[in-house]
Amino acid sequence: MQCIVNRRAQFSASHRYWLPELSESENKDKFGACSRFPGHGHNYVLFISLAGELDEYGMVLNLSDVKQVIKKEVTSQLDFSYLNDVWEEFQETLPTTENIARIIWQRLVPQLPLVRVQLFEHPELWAEYMGNGMESYLTVSTHFSAAHRLAHPDLSLENNFEIYGKCARPNGHGHNYHLEVTVKGEIDGRTGMIVDLGELNQVIEDLVVEPFDHTFLNKDIPHFASVVPTAENIALHISNLLQSPIKELGAKLHKVKLIESPNNSCEIYCTESGDNSQTGVQNQPVLMQV
């Protein structure tokens, strides 16, 4: 029986985004506040995913043994360290979240059956690496508050109530939406980045957060004048807004996850397709109910 198990670990460390071949002004322009001397710190949270067959004891691996491997190869070396100096790999490629995850994979894969390394720099920024060369995934999260009403414009009030229940009430209702945007790309061999994080955050702010926040979606967002603003349709619209701008930044939009409430969330996966003549991307909505 094939199974995936996950082990959590954590470490606290500092780093600085600084390239010696660039001038001080060039580093500041490129990395912003992250270039400041002597660096800044994070409480990193690490998840190691392992795959294998269940043994006679009902385990993929003894997690006590896994814990010791992670401690020896990763956390004991990185905890309370200055990352730029602790591992030689970070002399060549800066210790960005995505690059740290990649190097952790390289350190652990000779001893553990890895399928994924997930590293949280903080709760609103994390990277995933799955052993595919320099390809990595980076997720940023944000939020906006908005109201909506679920009612199809071509249906009667009675029919809308039959379909959408109390969500069809005429004056609508609101949510504090939590948005996660995942991009994928190649880690730059020098900067350690798959995308400029500041530019990515600005695109999301300009195209989604600012126009959507504190609005009545049905009335304030033209798209939803004729499209019912379900979580799925909102996530789909956000993915369509972000695809081209993220591509212009040198990365690809991989996933948009919209959490409407603690019980309901929706994920849109964006895959290359020749079927969509407008975007070149096929969006696949998946509604997750907890």
Class of domain 1-131: alpha beta
> Are 105 and 73 in contact, with CB atoms under 8 Å apart?
no
Indicate the SS3 state at residue 79. coil
- Which pLDDT score is estimated for 281? 41
Q: Report how far residue 182's alpha carbon sits from residue 270's, in angstroms, rounded to the nearest whole number.
A: 10
Q: Which member of 40, 122, 173, 214 is catalytic?
A: 214
Tell me the residue ranges of DSSP E strands in 106-155.
114-122, 125-129, 135-148
Q: Which two tokens stand for residue 174?
A: 């609101």
Q: Report how far residue 275's alpha carbon sits from residue 278's, in angstroms, rounded to the nearest whole number.
A: 9
Q: Residue 173: which pLDDT band, with cuts at 50, 70 and 90?
A: very high
- Which pLDDT score is estimated for 284? 55
- Which pLDDT score is estimated for 277? 31
Cβ burial 98-127 (10 Å sphere, 16+ → b, else e):
bbbbbbbbebbeeebebebbbbbbeeebbb
Q: Which member of 121, 260, 266, 267 is catalytic?
A: 260
> pLDDT per residue over 46-78, tens digit each?
999 999 999 999 999 999 999 999 999 999 999
Q: Which member of 135, 143, 152, 167 is catalytic?
A: 167
> Mean pLDDT, to the nearest integer, of 184-188?
98
Question: CATH 3.30.479.10: does it fit domain 134-290?
Answer: yes
Per-domain boundaries in the chain: 1-131, 134-290
Q: Residue 275: which pLDDT band, with cuts at 50, 70 and 90?
A: very low
Q: CB within 8 A of 220, min separation 6: which ones?
A: none
Any idea which residue has 């980076």 for tokens? 138
First to last CA, the chain: 26
CA dihedral (107, 98, 92, 104) in degrees, to 10, reads: -10
Q: Report how far residue 130's alpha carbon sits from residue 116's, in angstroms, rounded to the nearest whole number.
A: 5
Active site residue 237: no
Q: What is the DSSP letter of 223?
A: G
Q: Which two tokens stand for residue 116?
A: 């994924």
Q: Which of 239, 262, 98 is nearest to 180 (CA)?
A: 239
> pLDDT per residue over 94-103, tens digit each?
999 999 999 9
Active site residue 267: no
- Which pLDDT score is estimated for 286? 53
Is it true that 1-131 and 134-290 share their CATH fold? yes
Active site residue 122: no
Q: Report how far residue 170's alpha carbon sits from residue 191's, in angstroms, rounded to the nearest whole number.
A: 52
